[in-house]
Chain A
Amino acid sequence: MWDYVVERRGLIAFQAFQHVSLVVQCVLLGSLLAVALAVLVYRNPTATSAANGFSAVGLTVPSFALLGILLAPFGFGITPAVIAITFYAALPVLRNAVVGLAGVDRSLVESARGIGMSRVRTLLRVELPLAWPVILAGIRVSTQMVMGIAAIAAYVLGPGLGGFIFSGLSRLGGANALNSTLTGTIAIVLLALVLDLLLVLVGRLTTPRGIRV
């Protein structure tokens, strides 16, 4: 297997980069959408339960099925992969952002309004920063999860390490089939660990000392 990896190190590195790049971009996009949605719903109990239900149910949709459904309108390629991965990336962040925003002490919000902060300023300066550790925890879960889901994007000919896994699985028993699948899987696990460490670091750097646990 070592020889297999060394021979293809260029391709592996390229696919690894593609994989991580796809995941990072989708997580960023998904997180932005999720936080925006959370901001819209967290003050309204009905909308909040709807959002929570949506993220719970959404996570039970099999990713293969979703990709298959997206194939019809978008065809093979990057678009269905991005849509599906962003969808899954958004769900844990949505749940955590709603919980985080709803968990901000009401008296602090009132205090902010009481000293003359506008709604928007209160959200940006008080509520989101205080909810940030919880939101970031959601982003970590979501990153771990879509590292795996992104591998399945290879099914619709999306980029990334999934290619190694699929080509290995399709030739199971053939030469290097197992090596190919193992390489893809191990690379994804390793990269997921690295990304998680990076997110922990981001958390350290972006959480003010006053609310660090």
Chain B
Amino acid sequence: MSETLPSEAQPAPPTAAEPGRDDRNISGVPIRLDGVTKRYPGQDVPAVDDVTLEIAAGETVMFVGPSGCGKTTLLKMINRLIEPTGGRIHLGDEDVTDQDPDRLRRRIGYVIQAGGLFPHMTVATNIGLVPKMLKWDDARVAARVDELLDLVGLDPDQYRDRYPRELSGGQQQRVGVARALAADPPVLLMDEPFGAVDPITRQRLQDELIRIQEELGKTIVFVTHDFDEAVKLGDRIVVFDVGARVVQYDTPERILADPAEEYVADFVGAGATLKQLTLTRVGDVDLLQPTTATVGSDAAAAVAAAQAAGDDYVVVLDRRGRPISWPTLAELTRSPTIPDTVDERLPVVGMRSTLNDALDTMLAASQGGVVVTGRRESLAGVMAVETVMAAIQRTRSGAAG
């Protein structure tokens, strides 16, 4: 087995976390796969062939590889939706290979595409399923449901009694994540969860997941076919080949900079320089601080302030400090007070979005910049397209040098 693992490809033990991350709150447990094999009946070649892998507590590990290489099979063996033909699976210090699968699964969150929500149950019932099975009392379940809806950014009063079909795809996916987190499991398994939503929604969901994970520190195993997504979300990435052969297991930075084999280089793709944009977060670059004005305040004062600062637009905030539009000064002079019109096309990204996301958002909105939001969707600043261009220049010259 050792020959399938590139030297030093095993992750560092959980104690040796990366610099700057060791203050993180970790509620996850490590996962250890030991010679795990799956041979489907009637197949000569195993779908998963003798995989040994260690996933550190509190890390997000991304499984990438071509379709049919065994990612889903390997993932489902962790919660024993698929029974391994051979090998052992450990969660923390426990060997769970022979544990009662139903009990095991209540300790492992599981999210699939479109959330897998039950259409005949309300959002609250869906989220409360696992706590109910664990015999929590009703009041505790209800409180937990509200807490989780809050966590995934849905207003409990508005959403708890809705049915899944009354939600957008992105909202369903949020509820799916909330349901998986309901009983506070140490491990979260996600199988292409954001595969069925549009790119803008996917980017939002990714940002949310990063935020939630920073708060909770679960051990997350995430299957994706999108390498950008892997780079953005993963602490580490496992690149698989057929039979779930581990070709490279390393941080996104290292995989991009130093692909272990030709195979990985091909998989990462030709745009590796541009992919570096996926490594830089919006929060890592200097943001512009625009002139702001609150809804209902005096428009002339805002225009004067913007002119004094040399800005030709103003970011309008609602009463909770969230950006809702960015009119030009010419547009503002048309009314005496700041209008409360919400610009549906306002390009917004979060601090944890990548420069790649920001560029996509600008292009989709045909704008020369994006509004950046931080905690509770409040304004963090504005990023101009020039900032992204400068970053591309830097990585270009860095790659050349």
Interface hit among A59-67, A83-91, A108-116, A165-173: A108-116
In the complex, whether B118 has a CB less than 8 A from a CB of chain A is yes
Taking a contact as CB atoms under 8 Å apart, the answer to whether A114 and B110 are in contact is: yes
CB-CB under 8 A from B112, the residues of chain A are 107, 110-111, 114
In the complex, whether A210 has a CB less than 8 A from a CB of chain B is yes
CB distance from A125 to the nearest CB of B (A): 8
A140 CA / B103 CA spacing, docked (Å): 40
Known: A115-B130, A115-B179. A208 touches B121 (CB 8 A): yes
In the complex, whether A118 has a CB less than 8 A from a CB of chain B is yes
Contact with A along B89-115 (1 / 0, CB 8 A): 000000000000011111001101110
CB distance from B31 to the nearest CB of A (A): 16
Taking a contact as CB atoms under 8 Å apart, the answer to whether B122 and A117 are in contact is: no
CB distance from B192 to the nearest CB of A (A): 12
In the complex, whether B180 has a CB less than 8 A from a CB of chain A is yes
In the complex, whether B374 has a CB less than 8 A from a CB of chain A is no
CB distance from A60 to the nearest CB of B (A): 35
CB-CB under 8 A from B163, the residues of chain A are 208-210
Taking a contact as CB atoms under 8 Å apart, the answer to whether B164 and A210 are in contact is: yes
A129 CA / B122 CA spacing, docked (Å): 13
CB-CB under 8 A from A126, the residues of chain B are 118
In the complex, whether B394 has a CB less than 8 A from a CB of chain A is no
Taking a contact as CB atoms under 8 Å apart, the answer to whether A208 and B110 are in contact is: no
Select one of A108, A116, A209 contacting B102, CB under 8 A.
Answer: A116
In the complex, whether A161 has a CB less than 8 A from a CB of chain B is no
CB distance from A99 to the nearest CB of B (A): 18
In the complex, whether B165 has a CB less than 8 A from a CB of chain A is yes
A114 CA / B104 CA spacing, docked (Å): 10
CB distance from A112 to the nearest CB of B (A): 7
Q: What total of chain A residues lie within 8 Å of the partner, measured CB to CB?
A: 20
Taking a contact as CB atoms under 8 Å apart, the answer to whether B79 and A114 are in contact is: yes
Select one of A112, A121, A209 contacting B118, CB under 8 A.
Answer: A112
CB distance from B179 to the nearest CB of A (A): 7
Known: A114-B81, A116-B106, A210-B164. A107 touches B116 (CB 8 A): yes
Select one of A115, A130, A210, A211 contacting B110, CB under 8 A.
Answer: A115
Taking a contact as CB atoms under 8 Å apart, the answer to whether A117 and B81 are in contact is: no
CB-CB under 8 A from A209, the residues of chain B are 163
A115 CA / B136 CA spacing, docked (Å): 16
Known: A111-B110, A114-B81. A130 touches B133 (CB 8 A): no
A164 CA / B221 CA spacing, docked (Å): 71
Taking a contact as CB atoms under 8 Å apart, the answer to whether B116 and A110 are in contact is: yes
In the complex, whether B21 has a CB less than 8 A from a CB of chain A is no
CB-CB under 8 A from B79, the residues of chain A are 114
Closest to A129 in B: B120
In the complex, whether B368 has a CB less than 8 A from a CB of chain A is no
Chain B stretch 228-268: residues in CB contact (< 8 A) with chain A = none
CB-CB under 8 A from A117, the residues of chain B are 102, 129, 133
Question: Which of A113, A126, A130 gathers most chain B CB within 10 Å?
Answer: A113
CB-CB under 8 A from A116, the residues of chain B are 102-106, 130, 133
A110 CA / B105 CA spacing, docked (Å): 12
CB-CB under 8 A from B166, the residues of chain A are 210
Select one of B102, B109, B113, B119 contacting A211, CB under 8 A.
Answer: B119
A107 CA / B118 CA spacing, docked (Å): 10
A74 CA / B105 CA spacing, docked (Å): 52
Taking a contact as CB atoms under 8 Å apart, the answer to whether A210 and B102 are in contact is: no
CB distance from A127 to the nearest CB of B (A): 10
A115 CA / B110 CA spacing, docked (Å): 6
Closest to B182 in A: A115
A108 CA / B103 CA spacing, docked (Å): 19
Taking a contact as CB atoms under 8 Å apart, the answer to whether A113 and B105 are in contact is: yes
Taking a contact as CB atoms under 8 Å apart, the answer to whether A210 and B81 are in contact is: no
CB distance from B89 to the nearest CB of A (A): 16
CB distance from B343 to the nearest CB of A (A): 33
Taking a contact as CB atoms under 8 Å apart, the answer to whether A113 and B81 are in contact is: yes
A110 CA / B81 CA spacing, docked (Å): 8
Taking a contact as CB atoms under 8 Å apart, the answer to whether A210 and B120 are in contact is: yes
CB distance from A116 to the nearest CB of B (A): 4
**20 A-B contacts (beta carbon < 8 Å):** A107-B113, A108-B118, A108-B119, A110-B81, A110-B112, A110-B116, A113-B81, A114-B81, A114-B112, A115-B109, A116-B105, A116-B106, A118-B102, A126-B118, A129-B120, A209-B163, A210-B120, A210-B122, A210-B163, A211-B119
Pairs A-B, 8 closest by C-beta atoms: A111-B116, A210-B163, A116-B106, A116-B105, A114-B110, A208-B120, A211-B120, A210-B119
Further pairs besides A110-B81, A116-B105, A129-B120: 7, Cβ < 8 Å: A111-B112, A111-B117, A114-B110, A114-B112, A114-B116, A115-B106, A118-B102
